[in-house]
Amino acid sequence: MQPRRLGNVPQPFGPLFVAALVSAAFLHGGAAHAAAVRTDHVAAELVAERSAVAAGQTLRIGLKLQHIPHWHTYWRNPGDSGLPTTLSWTLPPGGRMGEIEWPAPERLPVGPLVNYGYEGDVLLPLQYTAPADARPGDTLRLQAQARWLVCNDVCIPEQATLELQLPVADAAAADNGAHAALFAQAAAAQAGPLSAWTAEVQQAGQDLLLTLEPAAGELPADAPEVHVFPYVEQLVEPASHALYRSPRGYALKLKLLDGATVPPRLDGIAVAQAGPGASGTVIWGGTQRSVEFSAPLRPVETITLPDGARAVAGDRVPTALRGGAPVGLLAALGLAFLGGMLLNLMPCVFPVLSIKLLGLARQDGNARRLRAHALAYGAGVVCSFVALAAVLLALRAAGSAVGWGFQLQEPGVVFALALLFFVLGLNLAGQFEFGLLMPQGLAQWRAQRPAVDAFGSGVLAVVAASPCTAPFMGAALGYAVAQPPAWALGVFAALGVGMALPYVLLVLRPGWRARLPRPGPWMLRLRQGLAFPMFATVVWLLWVLGQQTGIDGSTRALVGLVGLAFGLWLAGVWRGAAARAGVTVLLVAMLAWGWPVSERAASPQAGNGTASTAGSPHTAWQAYDEAAIETHLAQGRAVFVDFTAAWCVSCQVNKRLVLHTDETLQAFARSKVALMRADWTHRDERITAALGRLGRNGVPVYVLMRPGREPLLLPEILTGGLVREALSTL
């Protein structure tokens, strides 16, 4: 006889099956329960901090949002665009729901804009108070109509009706639920009070400077980067966010939107980014990563940065474009010294040093004269670096976006250098002698003071070195320009000492002259041979001038050089005061006609080889564009940026020997790396700011930007192996 069935359940197991269902229903009803709603981009769910609630008790309810990769929703102030998430509640009678307690958001660049929001998983908590007359055993039904805007390249409004079943229990029976850890994380991400700190805002027109400083003590050296998020919408430009760090605290430059109503106070939150001290007591004195501030606005004529303020992050900065490891004063001095020593090996400086060694070979072995010669040369190098640093710092203090090699961004300076090296080349070739062109009294004064020539040689060596950047120099100079003047000048002085020291030691070392051949015809031939590196330098400078002013500018300069050579020849042929005056007038007229105009070349791509033809290695390179960088990184594609300039010798050498080789370009292509070239031949504030964010102040700089990771800075002197090693980290 077949057993009788109850539905699909064999009757012998019917009572057990029913009991299991009853037990499951009891367990299910004994804990808060909600069903998640999934859209194409977000999974939304209501969750509770505890498994049950007592009558009249308060607990936290949260909207849990899980975004698919690269999509985001928005904070209470969405930034440049977007809408905040909203919740409309239907609650049991007698229950109350608070407002969303917003966790700290992220800055989300979208092209030239910046939004405030969340990616990945986020929990938006609220305080819920149960009805006072709720009885144990009841189930409270909480319903919310959730609306959000989810965006990537496009924005899609979405909504869902969400429900949470919340059991009522005795107070002692309400334990932590399955989502307690999520609520703890959300609490840590919410802003705490800003205690033991001061906050103030300077306002000058549309510019704001928010300062956050500890009331006692100094900011730790390893203090993390801070992002600021104002509460009021459409008040400031979210993309304008230039952060500075000083020994006293943080300073942040903001910009008011046109037409914005200026409140008496700026309210918002400051969020410490990932890094040392970001989630402990090192920064804010509490456990939160973020703090809430309310800073009064103080009108001023000009906003003033705190002493020693150093740029950390600049306006419209790509998320991945951040600096490397911080450099301290002692490290900067050491790096500058090493960089100065290596600068002697750069192609800019070597011809000048060759001339110095040739001149030294002519001198007798008098130890006193040699010592005076060496010290005068060293003084010329150090004083020139300090003077150059003083001009650089003065220009930056006046608001100019300049860096190492700034003088070569001016066509007039490039032309003057071409004239100088052309004259030196003619002199070495034996076409004229300086002493014959000088007034007799000046020539005698110079002959009696050989140290003056040595000092001038030191100045010339620094002038020749300015187009080059040696290893270790980049980090040192990047640190120097952001420091107080005394520290900055000290770093530049260390650079000068490093450059001068090898030559000074060689001069002062006894017995080195005995290894040189005896004076003879070889010295004349060597002198004439050294003229050709000078002429090659002139050719390069005229090429730079052509990049800056076009073919017409370089042609005018060539005519000026011909006129200069003609004038020097006439000065050697004609003698007498009248003849010298005539020659001087001729020279001035020719040089004035040949002086270049300070205009960019007609081609928009001129300046650094960014123009390209089919089949050229330049075709892979795009012009520097921070919005395009953000787009590539958002799509998971790495970006290699070449910060370069036509007047940078090291840049051109690296370009031709490494970056433009088929092997390197194929390695970039295999790794699907986007290539960008930041051309600093002309002054460009965007590129200067980008270099500052990387802790650099000159070119070359090579950086590999990797999605979701810190940028990787490569050395100033490249090899194919170094590039491939960097690509292997992707």
Indicate whether 573 and 681 sit together in one domain. no
Share of the chain above pLDDT 70, in %: 73
Which residue is it, tokens 């994380």?
A: 185
Task: Average the pLDDT over 360-383 and give the result.
Answer: 77
Indicate whether 545 and 677 sit together in one domain. no
Q: Is residue 456's pLDDT more than 90?
A: no
State which of 563, 594, 625 marks the end of a domain. Answer: 594
Q: Is residue 543's pLDDT more than 80?
A: yes
Domain contains 612: no
Helix, strand, coil proportions of the chain in percent (round to 5)?
40, 25, 35
Q: Is residue 462's pLDDT more than 60?
A: yes
Q: Is residue 613's pLDDT more than 70?
A: no
Task: Average the pLDDT over 163-172 and give the result.
Answer: 85
Q: How far is CA 600 from CA 544, 547, 550, in A?
A: 11, 8, 7
**pLDDT, averaged across the chain:** 77
Indicate whether 372 and 470 sit together in one domain. yes
Domain contains 115: yes
Of 47, 22, 27, give the one whose Cα is nearest residue 37.
47
**Strongest mean pLDDT among 261-265, 319-323, 697-701:** 261-265
Interatomic CA distance for residues 232 and 536, integer angstroms: 60
Q: Is residue 45's pLDDT more than 90?
A: yes
Interatomic CA distance for residues 464 and 569, integer angstroms: 26
| Cβ neighbours of residue 278 closer than 8 Å, sequence gap 6 or more | 224, 272, 289
Q: Which helix (H) or strand (E) holds 228?
A: strand 226-230
What does the pLDDT read at residue 642?
A: 94
Interatomic CA distance for residues 347 and 192, integer angstroms: 56
The model's confidence at residue 576, banded by pLDDT at 50, 70 and 90, is low
**What b-and-e string marks burial along 50-71, b requiring 16 or more CB atoms within 10 Å of the CB?**
bbbbbbebebbbbbbbebeeeb
Which residue is it, tokens 């033991």?
A: 196
Q: 700: cis peptide before it, omega within 30°?
A: yes
Does pTM surpass 0.85?
no
- Residue 118, phi then psi, degrees to nearest 5: -135, 140
The model's confidence at residue 603, banded by pLDDT at 50, 70 and 90, is very low
- Residue 477, classified by CB atoms within 10 Å of its CB into exposed (0-12), middle (13-18) or buried (19+), is buried
Domain contains 448: yes
- Compare 241 and 431 and report the one with higher pLDDT: 241
- Compare 501 and 321 and report the one with higher pLDDT: 501
What does the pLDDT read at residue 114?
A: 86
Domain count, the chain: 5
The model's confidence at residue 318, banded by pLDDT at 50, 70 and 90, is very low
**What b-and-e string marks burial along 545-578, b requiring 16 or more CB atoms within 10 Å of the CB?**
bbbbbbeebbbbbbebbebbbebbeebeeeeeee
Indicate whether 237 and 263 sit together in one domain. yes
Q: Is residue 579's pLDDT more than 60?
A: no
Q: Is residue 550's pLDDT more than 60?
A: yes
In eight-state DSSP terms, residue 171 is G
Task: Average the pLDDT over 83-102 and give the result.
Answer: 94
What does the pLDDT read at residue 324?
A: 43
State which of 110, 142, 175 marks the end of a domain. Answer: 175
639-653 pLDDT, tens digit each: 999 999 887 877 888
Q: DSSP string covering 195-219, please?
A: -SEEEEEEEETTEEEEEEEESSS--
Task: Average the pLDDT over 91-120 and give the result.
Answer: 89
Strands 265-272 and 621-623 turn out to be unpaired
Strand order in the sheet with 113-118: 73-79, 113-118, 106-110
State which of 128, 150, 175 marks the end of a domain. Answer: 175
Q: What angle do CA 610, 652, 396 make, to 5 degrees?
A: 85
Q: Is residue 633's pLDDT more than 60?
A: yes
Domain contains 182: no
The model's confidence at residue 316, banded by pLDDT at 50, 70 and 90, is very low
What does the pLDDT read at residue 605?
A: 37
Task: Average the pLDDT over 84-100 and give the result.
Answer: 94
Task: Average the pLDDT over 283-307 and give the result.
Answer: 84
Domain contains 187: no
What does the pLDDT read at residue 165?
A: 92
Interatomic CA distance for residues 698 and 701, integer angstroms: 7
Indicate whether 381 and 290 sit together in one domain. no
Interatomic CA distance for residues 511 and 501, integer angstroms: 18
Interatomic CA distance for residues 333 and 473, integer angstroms: 10
Domain contains 255: yes
Interatomic CA distance for residues 355 and 349, integer angstroms: 10
Indicate whether 513 and 589 sit together in one domain. yes
The model's confidence at residue 513, banded by pLDDT at 50, 70 and 90, is low
The model's confidence at residue 19, banded by pLDDT at 50, 70 and 90, is very low
- Compare 627 and 90 and report the one with higher pLDDT: 90
The model's confidence at residue 351, banded by pLDDT at 50, 70 and 90, is low
Indicate whether 358 and 492 sit together in one domain. yes
Indicate whether 451 and 505 sit together in one domain. yes
Q: DSSP string covering 50-91, please?
A: BS-B-TT-EEEEEEEEEEPTT-BEEEEEEETS----EEEEE-
Q: Is residue 67's pLDDT more than 80?
A: yes
Q: What is the CATH number of the domain that holds 286?
A: 2.60.40
Determine how many CB atoms are found less than 10 A away from the CB of residue 633: 22
- 124 and 47 in contact (C-beta within 8 Å)? no
Domain contains 601: no
- 361 and 523 in contact (C-beta within 8 Å)? yes
Domain contains 606: no
Interatomic CA distance for residues 7 and 510, integer angstroms: 111
Q: Is residue 141's pLDDT more than 90?
A: yes
Task: Average the pLDDT over 651-673 and give the result.
Answer: 90
The model's confidence at residue 76, banded by pLDDT at 50, 70 and 90, is very high
Interatomic CA distance for residues 711 and 323, integer angstroms: 8
Strand order in the sheet with 701-705: 621-623, 674-679, 639-644, 701-705, 712-714
What does the pLDDT read at residue 719?
A: 87
121-137 pLDDT, tens digit each: 999 999 999 999 999 88
- 228 and 270 in contact (C-beta within 8 Å)? yes
Indicate whether 156 and 68 sit together in one domain. yes
What does the pLDDT read at residue 96?
A: 94
Share of the chain above pLDDT 90, in %: 24
373-421 pLDDT, tens digit each: 788 888 988 998 888 888 877 776 665 555 666 677 778 878 888 888 8
Strands 290-299 and 139-151 turn out to be unpaired
What does the pLDDT read at residue 401?
A: 53
Q: Is residue 259's pLDDT more than 60?
A: yes
Indicate whether 545 and 690 sit together in one domain. no
Q: Is residue 437's pLDDT more than 80?
A: no
Range of the domain at 417: 329-594
- Compare 412 and 679 and report the one with higher pLDDT: 679
Phi-psi region of 290 (alpha: psi -120 to 50; beta: other; left: phi over 0): beta
199-234 pLDDT, tens digit each: 999 999 888 999 998 887 777 777 788 899 999 998
Indicate whether 49 and 19 sit together in one domain. no
HSE toward the beta carbon, residue 302, CA cutoff 13 A: 6
Q: What is the CATH number of the domain that holds 660?
A: 3.40.30.10
Interatomic CA distance for residues 338 and 336, integer angstroms: 6
Of 109, 110, 87, give the one whose Cα is nearest residue 98.
87
Q: Is residue 707's pLDDT more than 90?
A: no
Task: Average the pLDDT over 261-267 and give the result.
Answer: 90
* Out of 74-83, 151-160, 661-670, least confident range: 151-160
Indicate whether 118 and 250 sit together in one domain. no
The model's confidence at residue 267, banded by pLDDT at 50, 70 and 90, is very high
